[in-house]
Amino acid sequence: MESLIANLQAQLPSGHRIVTISFSLKHSFSLEAGLVQEWIRTNRLLVLVENSTESALLIYIVSKNVADEFSLERTIPLDTEFKCEIDTASANIVTTDIFLKLSRKKVHLLFEMLPGFKANKFVDEVVKASEVANKKRAPPNFSWLEVYNPQLVWESTTGSDSEQPTSAATELQPSSQNCHDAIPAHLNHKSDSELSSPDVTAHRSSIATGGATPIAARESVVRYQMALRETAYTDLRQISIFLGTYNVNGQPPTSGLADWLSVDKDPPDIYAVGFQELDLSKEAFLFNETPREEEWLRAVIRGLHPKGKYRKVKLVRLVGMMLIVFIQEKHWAYVRGVASEFVGTGLMGKMGNKGGVAIRLDLHNSSLCFVNSHLAAHTEEVERRNQDYLDICNRLVFSTTFPSKAIKDHDQVFWIGDLNYRLSGDLDLLRVKDLLDQSNYQALLQYDQFRAQHAARKIFVGYQEGPILFRPSYKYDPGTDNWDTSEKNRAPAWCDRCLWKGDNVQFKEYRSHPGLRMSDHKPVSCLLECGVKIIDTVRYRRIYEEVMKKLDKLENEFLPQVSVDSTEINFGNVAFNEGATKILTVANTGQVPVQYEFIKKHRDSKYCKPWLACEPYTGFLMPGDNSYITLEILVDKRTAWSLNSGLDELYDILVLHLDGGKDIFITVSGNYQKSCFGCSIEALIQMHQPIAQVAPETVCQLEKAAYPSIDPGNDSDSKQPVLAVPKELWFLLDELYRRGMDTPGLFEQPGLSTEIAAIRKTLDESLPDTLPGSVHSVAESLLIFLETLKEPIIPFSLTQKALDGCGAFPSCKTVYSCLPLSHQHVFKHIISFLKEVLLHSSKNGLDAKTLVALFGSALIRLPPPNYPLGPSISLSLNQPHLDRKRCMFIHHFLVNDLDD
């Protein structure tokens, strides 16, 4: 790679520097960056060049026979009209390749590259260069590109009459035709259809020699080809979208919402209404249950525009964050793919007091995503708010769609909520209020944290917001229009915002609604006009038939063939909860693209055992291309016991199926290091030595003896005296007794994964005087240990009885008396420990509700799907109801004496 860059750099004029190139050598000569034109992919070399403060892309045609022979085909300047994006159409097909769309004015090019570090680096550098061009104030001048070819002459951009944005919500308009993309003379005589529709037959020799490759793989490629032609069979239809956000400060709806939701003359086509702090009670925080949900839903329905008839698309809530989407009845038949998700970013990075909720849907042929978020509070917590935003973007994935979609994988995204960004700087509060009395909002917005972070591209990159011409939405004395007069005396701020991202969105209105005085916030709304893509069925059918004819002809000429770098993969030693990965390389050695997939074996429910995962498990390979599949072994609480007991082993056979080709069989194996995590109580109390010092066959024998139904032929009857409780549990509790009772945030602050692994290793290999790591890591290790027991402390056979009797202590005590003796001892130790923790609540800050919520799911777990419950047992409880019953059962033992 270094020599290639050096050769190219030597050919460039002085002052022109190569930033990055997109390539990956296959064998010894061909390149894996392909220009996609209909069914043909031809090799190209993409070079990003900078000169002074400007950048451009040079696109070279690659010689079929000599790796370092290139001829310049096209130059594209990176200015405000240049766009670089990962093709969203590729999200609709299963593929291992990246499809990169480059466009400027009427030039639209699609390139295919293998994913990986080089492709990611190239895209990152191009995006950075494009961002620099967008921020540049001076008019561009790309006359320096003329030197690359005398026939490729660029007109000066000096004096450009390109239109400028008129507001923060206005898109840049195309410049006048003052700078033409350079196109080789030998292409100038060809029509657009000839350039975009090369004939496969004409490229047969190129396909055979690797200079070009056909693109074919039936369903996935048909969807991809139809996506490329989308503009040919779709039209845009304008719909109106109302975005509304309101932090209600835990208050019920005491007045109507029409002054917020129905202020426009015409009814919107879609409503997206978001709330924050719906319920501030501890019950809502711990159990995610609240009557406020139904109260505010009814209030919203009553407040919808009276001229429209609406249907509720979806409601999603996480603690106090709620999002509701409505759509007019006339559009309902065209809605599909509705899904909702939520992400908590509060306590331990997952609790729902802060975070985001989202709803996505497909309307006609456009995908829409609505997000409602509540980010971290307080003026100084700017970085935490930024991190909350990034966490929501990275973690919120609609897993019920296929393939899974993140927020960014939609045509249009609408983001509302209490973002909590305040006014920064040393602004005097009286000065702030004086400027607000003068309606001088722009002077204050210079100190708006959101605008500063957005301008620095730290958050909401690519999102737009309407011009703010209204008073801050926070903070008021509830019931009034007066600024906060409480002891905290918060400064006013525009905390509540409405943003959007995507093409074909036009801004209409952005306003607050001061007439609603229930909360210390004022509701905010935004009205937008959006273009959704409507399919013309006649044109779609005609284009689809053309695509199918071309594909049928191509499939008749070629058959798939691949090779793998290994059919036997050994992971060596594997420890509990420590993932191990290997890379399997799959190469397309045939002449046509291949669709591959790992398939289920006969009578198996999945393609691999539960401790193994393959990513991606399915994919699409071009001829000569490679796919790198990550195989990961992870033994967790679901699978550890079966390995400890010898019912399973780290051995599996994967079947790699080729669509239209032969299957390939791959064996995966490893050596599991048995751990006390994932054992049963019955086995652990019989091990006086660390499990690493116990023979594996002895561990298997002890586990099977604990469950004779598993192995009826096992008549082992150990006469060895047993421990009262597992020694590992005693070590964990003793460590917390000695070091952790007065620690603030005990059982609330997460531990470090490296420390937790060290604690497990110490317990597996020794009888320690002390455990490594922080108190928080020991506390989390205790919870993990309890959750990974083969059967919970309240065995599965008594789960229903425990839940049914949770209302009274005598019933709970009866359940306790039914426990096996070993489980009674462990339960009593845990309860005594929790009571001791509560005696130190003034220092550690814990209360009984929090403790029972944390330990409830560890002590009382639902049985696995294949567990034989028996005809009289029914566990059909919803999650909040189940959590509440668990907590009630445990709570009785914290407030009563077990020995009475």
Cα distances (Å, whole numbers) of residue 312 to 292, 306, 343: 18, 15, 22
The rounded distance, in Å, linking the Cα atoms of 718 and 747 is 37
* DSSP-derived pairing of the beta strands 234-247 and 270-276: parallel
What does the pLDDT read at residue 95? 46
Q: Which of 145-149, 221-225, 335-339, 738-742 has the lowest mean pLDDT?
A: 221-225
Query: Residue 72: exposed, middle, or buried by beta-carbon count in 10 A (0-12, 13-18, 19+)?
Result: middle
Residue 248 sits in the same domain as residue 159: no
Give the pLDDT band (50/70/90) at residue 19: low
Mean per-residue pLDDT, 64-82: 72
Provide the strand spans (E) within 659-714: 664-672
Strand partners, 320: none
Task: Pull the structure tokens for residue 795.
Answer: 């065995």
The rounded distance, in Å, linking the Cα atoms of 443 and 426 is 14
Is the link from the previous residue into 403 a cis peptide, with omega within 30 of 0?
yes
The 3-state DSSP class for residue 272 equals strand
Q: Which of 130-139, 275-284, 675-684, 877-886 has the lowest mean pLDDT?
A: 130-139
Residue 88 sits in the same domain as residue 35: yes
pLDDT digits (tens, 9 = 90+) for 712-760: 344 444 456 889 999 999 999 999 999 999 999 898 888 888 999 999 9
* Bigger pLDDT: 872 vs 480: 480
Give the pLDDT band (50/70/90) at residue 205: very low
In a domain, 443, yes or no: no
Q: φ and ψ at 564, to 5 degrees?
A: -120, 150
Give the pLDDT band (50/70/90) at residue 7: low
Q: Which of 36-50, 97-111, 166-180, 755-769 has the lowest mean pLDDT?
A: 166-180
The rounded distance, in Å, linking the Cα atoms of 607 and 620 is 18
The domain tally of the chain equals 4
The rounded distance, in Å, linking the Cα atoms of 527 and 242 is 5
In a domain, 667, yes or no: yes
Give the pLDDT band (50/70/90) at residue 31: very low
In a domain, 333, yes or no: yes
Residue 581 sits in the same domain as residue 529: no
CATH number at residue 16: 2.30.29.110
In a domain, 678, yes or no: no
The model's pTM is 0.52
Give the residue carrying structure tokens 């009289």.
872
Given a contact cutoff of 8 angstroms between Cβ atoms, the answer to whether 560 and 587 are in contact is: no
Task: Please choose, from the candidates 487, 479, 489, 486, the residue with its C-alpha nearest in 3D space to the C-alpha of residue 521.
Answer: 479
CATH number at residue 474: 3.60.10.10
pLDDT digits (tens, 9 = 90+) for 517-546: 999 999 999 999 999 999 999 999 999 998
The 3-state DSSP class for residue 537 equals helix
pLDDT digits (tens, 9 = 90+) for 788-844: 998 899 998 898 899 888 989 999 999 999 999 999 999 999 999 999 999 999 998
Residue 28 has pLDDT above 60, yes or no: no
The rounded distance, in Å, linking the Cα atoms of 474 and 486 is 13
Task: Please choose, from the candidates 535, 529, 544, 505, the residue with its C-alpha nearest in 3D space to the C-alpha of residue 334.
Answer: 535
Residue 351 has pLDDT above 80, yes or no: no
Give the pLDDT band (50/70/90) at residue 765: very high
What does the pLDDT read at residue 2? 57
What does the pLDDT read at residue 714? 42
Mean per-residue pLDDT, 559-572: 90
Q: Which of 58-62, 184-188, 221-225, 678-682 has the lowest mean pLDDT?
A: 184-188
Q: Which of 292-306, 531-545, 547-561, 706-720 has the lowest mean pLDDT?
A: 706-720
What does the pLDDT read at residue 192? 37
In a domain, 222, yes or no: no
What does the pLDDT read at residue 541? 93
* Bigger pLDDT: 866 vs 609: 609
Mean per-residue pLDDT, 69-83: 79
52 is in which domain, residue-wise? 2-212
Give ∠ CA 244-250-253 in degrees, rounded to 5.
Answer: 60
In a domain, 452, yes or no: no
Q: End of a domain among 212, 243, 266?
A: 212
Give the residue carrying structure tokens 């390979």.
621
User: Sign of the C-alpha dihedral, residues 773, 779, 782, 784?
Assistant: negative
Give the pLDDT band (50/70/90) at residue 374: very high
Given a contact cutoff of 8 angstroms between Cβ atoms, the answer to whether 296 and 278 are in contact is: yes
Q: End of a domain among 672, 691, 708?
A: 672
Strand partners, 593: none
Task: Please choose, from the candidates 487, 462, 460, the residue with its C-alpha nearest in 3D space to the C-alpha of residue 475.
Answer: 487
The rounded distance, in Å, linking the Cα atoms of 154 and 145 is 7
Residue 199 sits in the same domain as residue 291: no
* Bigger pLDDT: 556 vs 806: 806
Residue 521 sits in the same domain as residue 577: no
Residue 152 has pLDDT above 50, yes or no: no
The rounded distance, in Å, linking the Cα atoms of 425 and 730 is 53
CATH number at residue 597: 2.60.40.10
Cα distances (Å, whole numbers) of residue 179 to 80, 154, 768: 12, 6, 74
Residue 68 sits in the same domain as residue 128: yes
Give the pLDDT band (50/70/90) at residue 185: very low
What single DSSP character describes residue 202? G
Mean pLDDT estimate for the chain = 81
- State percent of the chain over pLDDT 70: 78
Mean per-residue pLDDT, 629-644: 91
What does the pLDDT read at residue 358? 97
Residue 35 sits in the same domain as residue 120: yes
The rounded distance, in Å, linking the Cα atoms of 435 and 398 is 44
CATH number at residue 835: 1.10.555.10
In a domain, 487, yes or no: yes
Residue 310 sits in the same domain as residue 352: yes
Residue 345 sits in the same domain as residue 475: yes
pLDDT digits (tens, 9 = 90+) for 417-452: 999 999 987 788 889 999 999 999 999 999 999 999
Given a contact cutoff of 8 angstroms between Cβ atoms, the answer to whether 260 and 516 are in contact is: yes
Given a contact cutoff of 8 angstroms between Cβ atoms, the answer to whether 410 and 393 are in contact is: no
* DSSP-derived pairing of the beta strands 412-418 and 366-374: parallel
In a domain, 292, yes or no: yes
Is the link from the previous residue into 708 a cis peptide, with omega within 30 of 0?
no
Q: Which of 48-57, 651-660, 734-743, 789-798 has the lowest mean pLDDT?
A: 48-57
The rounded distance, in Å, linking the Cα atoms of 826 and 814 is 16
Give the pLDDT band (50/70/90) at residue 30: very low
Residue 208 sits in the same domain as residue 237: no
Residue 628 sits in the same domain as residue 531: no
Residue 252 sits in the same domain as residue 160: no
Residue 594 has pLDDT above 90, yes or no: no
Residue 158 has pLDDT above 90, yes or no: no
The rounded distance, in Å, linking the Cα atoms of 703 and 687 is 11
What does the pLDDT read at residue 68? 57
What does the pLDDT read at residue 867? 63
